[in-house]
Structure 1
Amino acid sequence: MARIFGIEIPNEKRIEASLPYIYGVGRQTSKRILEQAGVDPDIRTGQLSEEQLVKIAQVITSEGILIEGDLRREKQAAMKRLSAINCYRGIRHRVGLPVRGQRTSTNARTRKGKKRTVGAKK
């Protein structure tokens, strides 16, 4: 497996489809990176030379694209800031409810977790 910034990306896939294995790089970002690095997007990752991998890494750093730990840290800091100033979004993050105005009467199971039935006592 090829390694870029310590992240292993699959050798058997096209490089265009392999780059999104890096947290913070999606399909569109992948296309832009390859275009600027001058690498053919149809080449398999295993066929890339060492200098092409270095070029891809240089483009990522020069473009200022946040990936992996840096991006996770920044997202965590943003959530912590919202929570600290007690704004509505921060409170929703803290309580574990949907943040962007979705309904919670039904649905929202991803955010709320597994159903807990409350039994009625007589």
Structure 2
Amino acid sequence: MSQQFKYVVRMFGQDIDGTMKLPYGLAMVKGIGYNTARAIIRNLGFDPHLRLGELSDSDLKKIEEQLESKVIKGLPVWMYNRRKDYESGNDLHLVTSDLIFYARNDIEKEKKIKSWRGVRHSLGLKVRGQRTRTTGRSGYTIGVTRKRVAQPTSSSSTQKSG
């Protein structure tokens, strides 16, 4: 082996354990799952059984460049994590801070147009149709609240009949 094994690999601003196999190491990056990582590795021609620390700096650079372009060549469109972007209309695959930024913008846009999902987001309630009667409680609401039963007044029984 001409190069030294790297026990910590820096990719996309985060440290990844170099002893992990390549697809699992790539899946540690936000926005890349195991299947997407396998597809990227297959496109670039790497062995999926290699450890992440065994890759050279140029190989890591190839992986980063492919993901930074937001379009992964050879990857089917249905595997992208952002289909038909609102602004550009293109299919994109976002990672790390880009993914968080776009998701936050989508939520803010829905709040602004006051869609059902936007209203639910702004109220801090469940958005995807889940039940809210017993779950999703936050704050002081704990347990079941019952209506108070009115005490019967005994005004008619205390009166003397005359």
- TM (norm. structure 1) is 0.85
Higher deviation after alignment, 51-60 or 71-80:
51-60
Structure 1 residue runs without a partner (length 5+): none
User: Aligned with 2:27: secondary structure?
Assistant: helix
Structure with greater helix percent: 1
**1:115 positional shift:** 6.3
**1:65 positional shift:** 2.5
Q: Does 1:116 align with 2:141?
A: yes
**Matched residue, 2:34:** 27
**Matched residue, 1:41:** 48
**1:94 positional shift:** 1.0
8 A Cα contact 2:120 2:127, kept in partner:
yes
User: Aligned with 2:15: secondary structure?
Assistant: strand
Q: Does 1:99 align with 2:127?
A: yes
What is the total number of aligned residue pairs between the two structures? 119
- CA distance in 2: counterparts of 1:102 and 1:120, whole angstroms: 23
8 A Cα contact 2:22 2:50, kept in partner:
yes
Moved over 4 A (4+): 118-122
- CA distance in 2: counterparts of 1:54 and 1:65, whole angstroms: 17
Structure 2 residue runs without a partner (length 5+): 1-7, 73-91, 149-162
**1:60 positional shift:** 1.4
Q: Percent of counterpart pairs with the same letter? A: 32
User: Aligned with 1:21: secondary structure?
Assistant: coil
Q: 1:66 aligns with which of 91, 94, 97?
A: 94
Higher deviation after alignment, 88-97 or 1-10:
1-10
Using CA pairs under 8 Å that are at least 6 residues apart, name the structure with larger relative contact order, 1 or 2: 1
8 A Cα contact 2:24 2:34, kept in partner:
yes
- TM (norm. structure 2) is 0.65
